[in-house]
Structure 1
Amino acid sequence: MLFSIVVKLNIMNPTDILILAIGGLVSGIMAGLLGIGGGVILVPLLVSLGNEPIKATATSSLAIVITSVSGSIQNWRMGYFNLKKILYLGISALFTAQLGVVLAINIPPYLLLALFGLLLLTNIYLVQLRKQLLAKGNTDKTPFNPTIARIATGGAGGLLAGLFGVGGGVIMVPLQMLLLGEQIKLAIQTSLGVIISTAVSSSVTQAYAGNVLFIQGIILGCGGLIGAQISTRVLPKLPDHVVSIVFRSFLGILSIYIFYRAWLSYQGSAS
């Protein structure tokens, strides 16, 4: 096993290895800082290196397992790991992640990317909507049943984890804020813990389907492990409004790039 890994590393382009390591590091930093798992960086990165979208999402899930475990261990050591909240969201996410994988395998690549871009734009709106509720004084109270809201939040996160290989945090953070009235930093820390279950669930299914690129995933995951350790230490020190601005700006920039990749994929399939 170790020998085969060494052989594959020798075959890989050194530049690609460096890009993957740096990309993993950046994704790990963003995972701990924004609770997004890092897939919103890893999927576009893997696609830009010439991998099929389905393999990119599958490999991203493997890397996210390593990153989310690293960040959650650090959150636990710092006292920011609420197991009860994580389990409430994680149980439904486990099941819906499998559904997401099935859908991802049967969706055309360009459509998969386009849906991913729409997801990012939707999340910008959800975060802004929560900001407006806070401005009106609705800080903690929500009109939603907490149990149903948790099932919906975890289920949506799991579905998107399997579908896009993003961990699910891009939807779980806004939904926790909107449906459960959570503050953004608590939502991020909870999301990172839930991502462990969604990433494991989706990556196992994708590996069984033969879509996971293990070497690339391990390189990304090792970079993410280091990045998550850095950002989970920084997050508690940042003001909520700064984290919110960074989160929305990041999603906006990334959505533009994803739509561009979707258009190129569509052009390629049409020719």
Structure 2
Amino acid sequence: MLLGLLDTATIATPESLLGLFGLGIFTGAVAGVLGIGGGLLIVPVLSLWSIPLVQATATSLVGVWMSAVSGTVQNWRKGQLDGRSSIVLAVFGMVTASLGAWVGKVLPNAAIAFSFAGLMWVIIYLMDLKQKLKVREKTITDATESLSDRRPPEPLRLPQVAGIGLGAGFLSGLFGVGGGAIMVPLQMLFLGEPIKSAVRTSLGAIVLIAMSGLVSHTLNGNVLWPPGIAIALGGMLGAQLGTRLLNRLSSKAVDRTFRGLLILLSVYMVWKGFSS
């Protein structure tokens, strides 16, 4: 297979960078439709270039970080960002993001691959939980929902926030994901946040968490910057297309597509682990 013959040198050619830009558009569009971080898609695809998984996860953080910055700036301009909660989550997340990056450097590729596959199933469970909480949220009156959507959880429960931030930060550094798929349902479950508020808060936290993991990976020499930037630019464009496409799809179609994608990715990463 042609992609399997490529390496970290050939991936920086103009032709490969153009292909990675297209990959970014695709992963950004899928992320916009399914509401997941692009790292879940970028990491397995980058591994097709025979790139070690630690470099693939590090490079994916470039796109994760740039996308989070773009979305957070938009939320801030609209006055919909709860900066305090985002910062508290991020502070705890940044503590373990560096640890996750270090673990990713010392673990063999097979261990990372199997762990990544396991993460797919954890996210499927959390998305089930998220759906149940979303249904429960709909029982609240529109007036109450509108007010609570703009209000941060009171009082701020530091033990719960700390646990959410620490776990998301470690996963971000280890797997090259932003951590939002973990933080959003846990914020709803343990902090009582409405889904819209949880999404905005976690996105703001991802800016700092992903940056922390990215800095650690950069110091360790794991980031492939030209491919990462190419994917990130394509992802920012694709996300705009995906959010528009989302309005045309039914919730059932999105849910089934999401689950099918995660199952396929988990199977692929298991195969990658055995072949490492």
Q: Give TM-score scaled by structure 2 length.
A: 0.78
Residue 90 of structure 1 and its aligned partner are, at CA, apart by 1.1
- Counterpart of 2:167 (choices 145, 151, 156) is 156
The CA distance in 1 between the partners of 2:163 and 2:56, in whole Å, is 26
| Alpha carbons of structure 1 residues 19 and 263: separation in structure 2 relative to 1, 3 Å | farther
Contact 1:98 1:201 in 2 (8 A): yes
- Answering whether residue 215 of structure 2 is matched by residue 215 of structure 1, we say no
The CA distance in 1 between the partners of 2:260 and 2:200, in whole Å, is 20
Moved more, 17-26 or 98-107: 17-26
The CA distance in 2 between the partners of 1:40 and 1:11, in whole Å, is 20
| Alpha carbons of structure 1 residues 137 and 62: separation in structure 2 relative to 1, 3 Å | closer
Paired residue for 1:269?
none
| Alpha carbons of structure 1 residues 116 and 71: separation in structure 2 relative to 1, 3 Å | same
Amino acid at match of 2:209: T
Instruction: Count the aligned residue pairs.
Output: 255
Contact 1:127 1:174 in 2 (8 A): yes
Paired residue for 1:24?
24
Paired residue for 2:113?
113
Residue 158 of structure 1 and its aligned partner are, at CA, apart by 0.6
Paired residue for 1:63?
63
- Counterpart of 1:146 (choices 157, 160, 169) is 157
Paired residue for 2:52?
52
Amino acid at match of 1:258: M
- Could you tell me which runs of 5 or more consecutive residues in structure 1 were left unpaired when the two chains were aligned: 1-7, 266-271
Residue 239 of structure 1 and its aligned partner are, at CA, apart by 7.8
The CA distance in 1 between the partners of 2:54 and 2:108, in whole Å, is 9
The CA distance in 2 between the partners of 1:83 and 1:179, in whole Å, is 19
SS at match of 1:166: coil
- Counterpart of 1:251 (choices 258, 262, 265) is 262
Paired residue for 2:91?
91
The CA distance in 2 between the partners of 1:52 and 1:24, in whole Å, is 19
Taking only aligned residues, the RMSD between alpha carbons, in angstroms, comes to 3.2
| Alpha carbons of structure 1 residues 116 and 106: separation in structure 2 relative to 1, 3 Å | same
Paired residue for 2:178?
167
- Could you tell me which runs of 5 or more consecutive residues in structure 2 were left unpaired when the two chains were aligned: 1-7, 141-155
Residue 115 of structure 1 and its aligned partner are, at CA, apart by 0.3
Amino acid at match of 2:223: V
